[in-house]
Amino acid sequence: MTRKCLLIFILIFQLTGMYSQNGRILIVGGGAEKNGVNSWSTPAYKWAGEGKRVAIIGISTGSLAPYFKQQCGAAFAKEFAVSNRESANSQSIYDTLITYQTIFFRGGDQYDYYNYYKDTKLIDAVKFVYSNGGTIGGTSAGMHILSSVVYTAKNGSAYPDECIEDPNNKYITLAEDFLDFVPGHLFDTHFAERGRFGRLVGFLANYRLNNGKDIIGLGMDDLTCMTIDGNGLGTVYGTGCANLYFPVGNFSQNSKKLLADSIKIVQLLQGCKYDFKTGETETDNLTRVINTSQLAENGNYTVLASGNKSLGNNIELLDDLLNNTGNKSDAVLILTGEISLAASYKDKLLLSGASTVEVRSIDHNAGTDPGLKQLINSSQKIVLLSNSTTGFIQFLKTENGITLKNKLSNPGMISAFIGDDSRFAGKTVIENFYTEYAGYYAQLTFETGLGLLKNSVIMPNTYFNSIMYENSATAIPYVVSKDTLRYGIWLTDHNYMKFTQSDGKNYIYSYGKAPVMILRNDGGKTGFSSQTSSGSTSSKPRMIAGFDELYLTLTDNTKPYFMGITEPSSILPGDGPQVKVIPNPVNDFFSISWPDDFFNYKIFTLDGRMILKGEAFTGKSIDISSFAKGMYLVEISDKNNLKPSMVKIIKE
């Protein structure tokens, strides 16, 4: 193209651009593009490139140009290798790129892009195309550089476990001086595949702690993308989620580890929309509505659970079990599938001052062994260590298994679940999560746990190794949706949790180098991924769930996490009068028998929210016809609010 023709082309482009909307954006979480009109990538890439001249930029060239032309209908597509600042700042690259309507950044190393392209004519050309109604896109590293706050990876990749253990670690390098097409947002990619939810929280905390203000995080799953039109409306395509993280509470640190009061999470599946200007979402295709308002953890016992089975990682837990929970003289029983490891635990407990420690194997004889039954009944503390899921679930169906389940749920009982056995304390047990791509290929399996935390699912060893990051990251929200649970709990090899009671309420306290991450599901709309990478219906979609609202908290012992009110039988004040509810269960009305003429009453949900209060007298009807079916707590006190009593009612 001659210089004169180029100037004419630029003039026409500028004149037509004056009347166009702002530019458009395509952001892609990474992963190989797939051929076919129904693949995860083709509809969005076609939106960006059909009928357009498409420039693909990277440090090296690849095979995206043929894909844009052959699959997405681009009028023309060309790869550009721009591998140094001199090339990026040349007039020729500027003059060439402004003749394109779509500019797309390949994957690679985003620090190369940031370092080589910042404040160059290449970036000037990108801004020119965008401001004249063109489309700017990027995948993986190319997506990272399109947010207003960029994770530059200057010092190498930041791993999620490092980010929750220290949000100011040297690998979190953020910058705000590259592009500003999406104000107030920070992008992360390969989100599910690499378990980066902990990393994104670390990024948001780092920005708040160092800048005193908040940004919104957007983590895009691999094989997932979003088109953003000129009005800022984004639409999701692909096999996973666009994960939006909105900080709504405080960030702080205990020593170095990150604590987060509350982060609102929205997980958008294909077809969902997000308005980048208003923050509003459209989730019409999340068709399942669930109600968790009556779900809480109200057991009256203590449960310790760790994320890893090695003895070295559980010294603090054993000290807590021995010295801070129950009595040091309590008899301890270790039930195990690995006798040699259990022996080392026994030795450690005895050396630390335990009076009695017994070790028994859960094998084919354990279910009917009368000696084991006696040990279960006589032990004040029971430890479960290195048991296989299949063996343990089968054991629970035996006579001794039933005895164990009943024993562990007795008021005041103390149990400790080590490493993978931590899963058994929840309602649902996730199995096969160490298998590479198990979540991607829909190969995760599930069993019913002990239900000591009857509305929760627990994931140990969250960051054990990279091949299972997706399984550990996505299985929790998937099960929370599938089984209508209230809580999902992530443990790592650097922490443990303690579920226990204080003042009639149940809390999780957590200890160690890393915070415990707790996901809360308050109910609402949810759904499951239905798009496969190729679009074929013969293969199963990924085990990924979408939600219109979740809340994530990072907690430790300095900020215990409230889980519900303790079972009423265990919190009736000793000096309060006896209360009788007539009838119970209740349909719409009930009355209370109380020694005094008048009394005050308060009605609570099991998670501690007061939903009704008033004054009454013996025999007066109290109307709860508007209440949802479920269990509630009623607190009764005299007119001076002294000598309260509490009783449980069931609304039918």
Report the distance separating Cα 611 and Cα 108, nearest Å: 54
Over the stretch 500-523, which tens digit does the pLDDT of each residue have? 999 889 999 999 999 999 999 999
Q: Is the pLDDT of residue 8 over 70?
A: no
Over the stretch 396-426, which tens digit does the pLDDT of each residue have? 999 999 999 999 998 889 999 999 999 999 9
Share above pLDDT 90 across residues of the chain, in percent, rounded to a whole number: 82
Share above pLDDT 70 across residues of the chain, in percent, rounded to a whole number: 94
SS3 of residue 161 by DSSP? helix
Do 458 and 491 contact (CB within 8 A), yes or no? Answer: yes
Do 155 and 173 contact (CB within 8 A), yes or no? Answer: yes
Prediction pTM value = 0.87
Q: In the structure encoding, which two tokens stand for residue 168, read together?
A: 């100011």
Over the stretch 199-253, which tens digit does the pLDDT of each residue have? 999 999 999 999 999 999 999 999 999 999 999 999 999 999 999 999 999 999 9
Q: Is the pLDDT of residue 15 over 60?
A: no
Q: 160: how many CB neighbours lie within 10 A of its CB?
A: 22
Amino acid at 289: V
48-57, 101-110, 620-629: the lowest-pLDDT one: 620-629
Q: Is the pLDDT of residue 442 over 60?
A: yes
Q: Is the pLDDT of residue 593 over 70?
A: yes
Band (568; pLDDT cuts 50, 70, 90): low
Reported as half-sphere exposure (CB side, CA atoms, 13 A), residue 43 has a value of: 19
Q: Domains, the chain, ranges and CATH?
A: 22-285 (3.40.50.880), 302-521+554-563 (3.40.50.880), 572-651 (2.60.40.3080)
Over the stretch 274-325, which tens digit does the pLDDT of each residue have? 999 999 999 999 999 999 988 999 999 999 999 999 999 999 999 999 999 9
Following DSSP, what letter does each residue of 450-491 receive, concatenated? --TEEEEEEE-STTS-GGGHHHHHHHHHHHHHHTT-SEEEE-
Q: 63: how many CB neighbours lie within 10 A of its CB?
A: 10
Look-up of token digits 């104000």:
183
- Residue ranges of alpha helices (H) inside 232-302 are none
| Residue 273, strand partner residues | 235, 282
Predicted local distance difference test score (pLDDT) of residue 576: 53
Do 388 and 544 contact (CB within 8 A), yes or no? Answer: no
Q: Is the pLDDT of residue 639 over 70?
A: no
Over the stretch 57-86, which tens digit does the pLDDT of each residue have? 999 999 999 999 999 999 999 999 999 999
Q: Is the pLDDT of residue 16 over 70?
A: no
| Average confidence score pLDDT of the chain | 92
Band (17; pLDDT cuts 50, 70, 90): very low
123-132, 362-371, 440-449: the lowest-pLDDT one: 362-371
Strand 216-220 relative to strand 185-188, pairing: parallel
Q: Is the pLDDT of residue 571 over 50?
A: no
Predicted local distance difference test score (pLDDT) of residue 575: 47
Report the distance separating Cα 622 and Cα 499, nearest Å: 34
SS3 of residue 231 by DSSP? coil
Burial tier of 298 (Cβ tally within 10 Å: 0-12, 13-18, 19+): buried
Report the distance separating Cα 50 and Cα 52, nearest Å: 5
Band (573; pLDDT cuts 50, 70, 90): very low
Cis status, amide bond into 585, omega within 30 of 0? yes
Nearest to 303 by CA among 423, 140, 428, 441: 423
Report the distance separating Cα 636 and Cα 644, nearest Å: 5
Q: Is the pLDDT of residue 18 over 70?
A: no
C-alpha pair distances (Å), 130 with each of 12, 80, 274, 430, 473: 15, 18, 20, 46, 35
Length of the chain, please?
652
Q: Give the rounded distance of the alpha carbon of 518 from its chain centre.
A: 8
Strand 495-502 relative to strand 524-528, pairing: unpaired
Farthest-apart Cα atoms in the chain, separation: 100
Q: Give the rounded distance of the alpha carbon of 388 from its chain centre.
A: 26
Band (640; pLDDT cuts 50, 70, 90): low
Predicted local distance difference test score (pLDDT) of residue 595: 77
Q: Is the pLDDT of residue 557 over 70?
A: yes
Amino acid at 421: D
Q: Is the pLDDT of residue 628 over 60?
A: yes
Do 513 and 494 contact (CB within 8 A), yes or no? Answer: yes
